[in-house]
Structure 1
């Protein structure tokens, strides 16, 4: 079994170098490459990859190998994420007792994304996964064949501290960085809603992924990095691989000595775009229904839309039936109306007879005009 212990590294970054930070690639290699290209990433930049490089995407193994290739240069610093760590733990711990649940997970990922990390590993070793027994049969060869890849993941730092910023996938459990050395890798890489749940105000900005930033909102869904100036936390997970309207974010810090006001970001997704032909004003009230508050009650079911009550907010609204599950749940829906000017580019997430749900500059909502 690989040694998955918490590793804390300190590095010094010289002034004059741009710092780029991304996270939660989740096997979306094309997203990762294109956001780096969009940023004109080069040898003079410092790139932090704050965990969760694999799973939930179409190119998990290739993504990992690309990160390994990049990290041969000292200017690329990957960290381990909870999915990276947990996948290693599962693979090495596969047994007759847990293989059925793992096989079901592989099937779910196959249905969701067309593949899974383990399935890609087994395929390269000459195996086809058709049942739980295939997983157990392939385990030894997978572990032997991918020793370099697994060692790379296991050796990644959990926390990287610089003179002004701290990087960790999930969050710090203790205010002082060194005090987190006694915490497990999974405690530090899986810290749900870190910016809300931590009781601490940190001395340095802590830059994290893991928790999609959209989940911090209850009214308007937006995927862009969030800077919490009160607690000194920057959350950058754009929901790539876990949200159909998600994106990969790249935080841009112009210089180690610059102020937070000088930060910017770019993002990338592959949602089809159109040009808006009409302007519209934003709505003043709205709700965002995520999996955290998904419970609804159908008041009147229609052919295309249903009139429902959102139980947490008490708001009554029309929801496309395509967003309703099992008559009692709704996922990733908003009734927010986007501010749009003629000529704006919109990413079209879904269409219906009333208009479309679109994303503009990382914010999701309705557009009811022509395009």
Structure 2
């Protein structure tokens, strides 16, 4: 039966006093993942928990899967199934459903686990291909990978923490909750659930919880005992891959590290920020183009009427009404000497990140 429709599989885990490192939503981005592991100093004395969605979106799904399988062999890496990781269903239970959809998906994405597997087999991916005919060979050739994916739990539970990719409900035993709900629980923190144990989730990029600015750092809600850690890796141009760090089982002294590849520079002159700002984001990114320029365009956010200038290359079409890439007009408060990561360099200034928050700096960087 599909991972989506069965009751949640829960893996009980004794972390044995180790430092716990939780990472979610790697999305096949190996440079970010390796960079983050190096930054946190991951070692055999740690417990690494991959909190779902390590596949798809990025360009190295099969490589990422095999890398995580190798880590898991060491005995201190555990993996939660995310909504992007359920590919074993194609082989085990859902091939009739997928056979009519998988080819269109692969040709649209031109990446992903199935794309990588078929490419390794030397199969040309075409619109008229007979995918169903290839399933037995896929099942045999990649059996270790399918076995690993099929065995993943929906939830990992320790004495003090619960790791689920999407989320869980507080009033139903976890084992009686639907696996699909644990993997895909959109905007989980907005429900206001309160838990006895800390619940650590990914799935919903943390910046989507914000209205007037963009910050990719984990959100720690101590009142409700919920932590959301998806930093938008592979999905957001200014995203990052976060690692929640728990010093030992039972600790609430949470910290985090984040990795992104952006060049780091220093602010030459202080800048006073603040003022009105807005964040146009995925799912609410319909705009009207009021003035289209070569580098910047003035747009009106359709739902709110808010007007702001965004990078012209962030517009998805040449039409007056269209969608756009995530955009902010926040002007950051910065002091001379502050380190910033440069996301975009323009003729007017820089789109930068400072301590996880994205915004504009109009001065000179050194």
TM-score (norm 1): 0.90
Map 1:127-206 to 2 at 5 A.
127-133=123-129, 135-176=131-172, 179-197=173-191, 199-206=192-199
- CA drift of 1:132 comes to 4.0
In 1, Cα distance between equivalents of 2:32 and 2:297: 35
- CA drift of 1:53 comes to 1.3
Task: Kindly indicate whether the alpha-carbon contact (under 8 Å) linking 2:263 and 2:341 is maintained by their aligned counterparts in 1.
Answer: yes
Q: Structure 1's 126 and 308: CA in aligned 2 closer, same or farther, altered over 3 A?
A: closer
Q: Structure 1's 307 and 155: CA in aligned 2 closer, same or farther, altered over 3 A?
A: same
How many residues in Structure 1 have an aligned counterpart in Structure 2? 359
In 1, Cα distance between equivalents of 2:275 and 2:225: 29
Select between 212-221 and 120-129 the one with higher mean Cα deviation.
Answer: 120-129
**Larger proportion of helix:** 1
- Look up the match of 1:14: 16
SS at match of 2:341: strand
In 2, Cα distance between equivalents of 1:109 and 1:360: 32
- CA drift of 1:23 comes to 0.8
Select between 296-305 and 333-342 the one with higher mean Cα deviation.
Answer: 296-305
Q: Structure 1's 173 and 132: CA in aligned 2 closer, same or farther, altered over 3 A?
A: farther
Structure 2 unmatched runs, 5+: none
- CA drift of 1:64 comes to 0.7
Select between 33-42 and 278-287 the one with higher mean Cα deviation.
Answer: 278-287
Deviations 1:159-194 (A, max 9, x none): 111111111010003435xx2323332221000000
- Look up the match of 1:104: 104
What RMSD in Å do the two structures reach over aligned CA positions? 2.1
In 2, Cα distance between equivalents of 1:64 and 1:156: 12
Task: Kindly indicate whether the alpha-carbon contact (under 8 Å) linking 2:107 and 2:127 is maintained by their aligned counterparts in 1.
Answer: no
Task: Kindly indicate whether the alpha-carbon contact (under 8 Å) linking 1:8 and 1:160 is maintained by their aligned counterparts in 2.
Answer: yes
Structure 1 unmatched runs, 5+: none
| 2:305 counterpart of 1:314 | yes
SS at match of 1:38: helix
SS at match of 1:364: strand
TM-score (norm 2): 0.91
- CA drift of 1:137 comes to 4.1
Q: Structure 1's 351 and 134: CA in aligned 2 closer, same or farther, altered over 3 A?
A: farther
Task: Kindly indicate whether the alpha-carbon contact (under 8 Å) linking 1:175 and 1:202 is maintained by their aligned counterparts in 2.
Answer: no
- Look up the match of 1:64: 65
Deviations 1:32-68 (A, max 9, x none): 1221111111111111110111111122111111111
- CA drift of 1:9 comes to 2.0
SS at match of 1:292: coil
| 2:276 counterpart of 1:275 | no
- CA drift of 1:3 comes to 6.7
Select between 292-301 and 39-48 the one with higher mean Cα deviation.
Answer: 292-301
- Look up the match of 1:245: 238
Deviations 1:265-314 (A, max 9, x none): 10111233333333212223210010122122233333432222223333
In 1, Cα distance between equivalents of 2:216 and 2:356: 5
- CA drift of 1:230 comes to 2.3
SS at match of 2:364: coil
- Look up the match of 1:29: 30
